[in-house]
Amino acid sequence: MAPAAALLMGPLLLASLWGVSTARSLLSRLGDHVQEVQARLGQRLGEPSPAKVGWLWQPLDPFNSSDQRSFLQRYWVNTRHWRSPDGPVFLHIGGESSLGPSSVLKGHPGTLAPHWGALVVSLEHRFYGRSVPPGGLDIAQLRFLSSRHALADVASACVHLSRIYNISASSPWIGFGGSYAGSLAAWARLKYPHLIWAAVASSAPVQAQLDFSSYNQVVSRSLADPAVGGSPQCQRAVAQAFSELDHGLSEGKETQAALQSEVRACGPLEIPEDQAELLEQLEGLVGGAVQYDQQVGVPLDVRGLCHLILANQTKGPLSGLEDAIQLVLHTLDLPCLPSSKAGAVAELKDTSPQAVGVGSRQWFYQTCTEFGYYITCKDPSCPFSRRRTLSAQLQLCTQVFGLSPASVTEAVTRTNTYYGGQSPGATRVLFVNGDIDPWHVLSVRQALGPSESAMLLRGTSHCSDMAPPQPSDPLSLQRGRWKIAQQLMMWLQEAKVNPGSP
């Protein structure tokens, strides 16, 4: 089918697949909200956007040439600054959520494109947003969802878009991505070096990890860090609030009903599974304050959270947590905190795709079949409840997808063997991380060689370098962005000297 026809059919084919999430984790909701706010920054009402949407036909199974099934994958393109035909191509690789027009207007690709005359392209990840194959999210379909399939899509897109836009063979493609997509950017350079000249991998957890207890170790350390507005008193107060809440939930129905009202839970808290669900949502509230610290759009950063927690010490730390809950619910326009485990499981079993936000079922499937990343609270420094166990999260893989804990463990091992974990061995990759981001411990934090470099930015959070620059940005973040631009300059100069070199 011609690209023009695909462009017209894409929305028609996929509009009926839209769904509404009801029980998503608070942490994923916070991430969506931050992205939405940042996407609106700098937009001028009434001004035509240079971002254009397109659709590519991709094979459902790129590793089986006899399988002729295909699906439409969405991409966005910004040609405003492109010096055709041999200007560089900045490729924003999509991750576990939908992509919009801001993906080719902002971040490193959009910011750096004017100086280099770059064509900016973003590619939505298969099975997310509107790039969902016919058949939806049934388990038989999801076997075609993996990072390897996503990388094959990137390679195919490089080839097809080069033809569509008459991109010169000497034009270097630079991959960009953040979080899981940051890993994809690094892996695209690793696995397809003849197509991807270099990559910037921001907050990229390239090490798959079954038990990710170190997430909460970083959360605890950041809550106590004065450099970002934390303090040891704040860390202890958060721990006391969760201890008080955990103890209260173990009391009788009267205490549970009072807590339901105080913490704005959506439903009764009499069942242990629902209690654990509520505690997980509240962990996400605190974890989100750390993970997205100081970013535009985050309702509470570490400084703000600690202020609320410590402001009402005479009433007890739980009172401060209640204030934080109220503020976050108001910001996210939520009436209450989801607290139904059955509701959360039902959402994960829902095979109807969502057009926007994080795809809960899809991403959970990828954790069960590739990455793990199950956040637990085993370390003594963890300020949260011990109810969130690894075994419970592994059992959820069995409950939703029929995957045994042993198979999940084996999948994590295979992922690290295939990509190399924290020693991927790719050249021309720059890993960028913030030291208060809980995910940085699974990334590359020190240079592995002259062509596999890394930056660890003091006092910055998850994918902060990709966010729109602000006057309040820490000096380390400002310097980090400058170093990224300098690294890009070196790569593009090298491409001119050695065109076509892998």
Contacting residues for 189 by C-beta, under 8 A, at least 6 apart:
175, 196, 197, 198, 199, 426, 427, 428, 429
Contact 100, 39 (CB under 8 A): yes
Calpha distance 148→30 (Å, rounded): 28
For the chain, how many helices (H) and strands (E)? 17, 10
> 196: which 2 tokens?
């991807």
Single out the residue of 201, 196, 88 nearest to residue 501, CA to CA: 196
Calpha distance 154→93 (Å, rounded): 8
Quickly tell me which residue has 């609106």 as its tokens: 40
Phi, psi of 298 (to 5 degrees): -75, 125
Amino acid identity, position 439? W
Single out the residue of 220, 259, 203 nearest to residue 457, CA to CA: 203
> 156: which 2 tokens?
């195919």
Calpha distance 260→322 (Å, rounded): 11
Angle at 408 between CA 375 and CA 341, to 5 degrees: 50
Number of C-beta neighbours around residue 490 at 10 A: 11
Amino acid identity, position 332? L
Angle at 412 between CA 410 and CA 414, to 5 degrees: 70
DSSP element (H, E) containing 322 = helix 317-332
In 3-state terms the chain splits into helix, strand, coil percentages (rounded to 5) of 50, 10, 40
Helix (H, G, I), strand (E, B) or coil at 125: coil
Task: Please give the positions annotated as active site.
Answer: 179, 437, 462
Calpha distance 189→32 (Å, rounded): 27
> 453: which 2 tokens?
């470099």
Contact 181, 412 (CB under 8 A): no
Quickly tell me which residue has 């094979």 as its tokens: 59
